[in-house]
Amino acid sequence: MGTKYDTLHCTAADFPVQRTRHLRFVELWKIGDWVIKAYLQSAHRDELPDGYLVRTRPFIEGQLSTAEGTKPAHRIGFVILSHGAISNWVMFDWWSSLHLYQRIFQVEGMPPDRFVAGPLGLFQCVYDLRITAFESEAWRKHVVENPRPDIQAYLAAQLRIDV
């Protein structure tokens, strides 16, 4: 017997094999006037592959000029280095008042030898969203809804979980 949802299709083959995901704050990056929280999201192990961080930081530094055009420019953000089951990504997010801006890049090679702009419309996988949700709540709590916005408390709020 069919239902009104017969046109929706979702099969186990649409999803990679389930495995533990490691969501880890790695370090703070101070780049010029910017402070960026660096995170790992990994389907493999709870540490970054060799060279991932070292090659990503200068790449992100080169993206800051794009983010500088956002007003107000708080110069605060986070980066997710996603070491996924199928592919690898770098997401650069930055805050402007109540808004979060993002650039996504696919990583070619490991360690990265190239960063390619992600497809238009792509946002994040469900595991990267866990980090973004945590960062959103920390920004809301410590900055947006705080009568005395506390950037240091925001920067000190750091996620370290396995899901």
The pTM for the full model equals 0.90
Token digits of residue 7: 């046109």
pLDDT at 10 over 60: yes
SS3 state of residue 42: strand
Whether residue 111 is preceded by a cis peptide bond, meaning omega within 30 degrees of 0, is yes
Task: Spell out the domain ranges in the chain.
Answer: 19-162
Task: Quote the pLDDT of residue 92.
Answer: 98
In angstroms, rounded to a whole number, what is the distance separating the alpha carbons of residues 31 and 87? 27
Of 96, 83, 68, 79, whose CA–CA distance to 27 is shortest? 79
**CA-CA-CA-CA torsion sign (62, 63, 66, 71):** negative
Residue carrying structure tokens 């650039």: 103
Question: Is the confidence at residue 49, as pLDDT, over 60?
Answer: yes
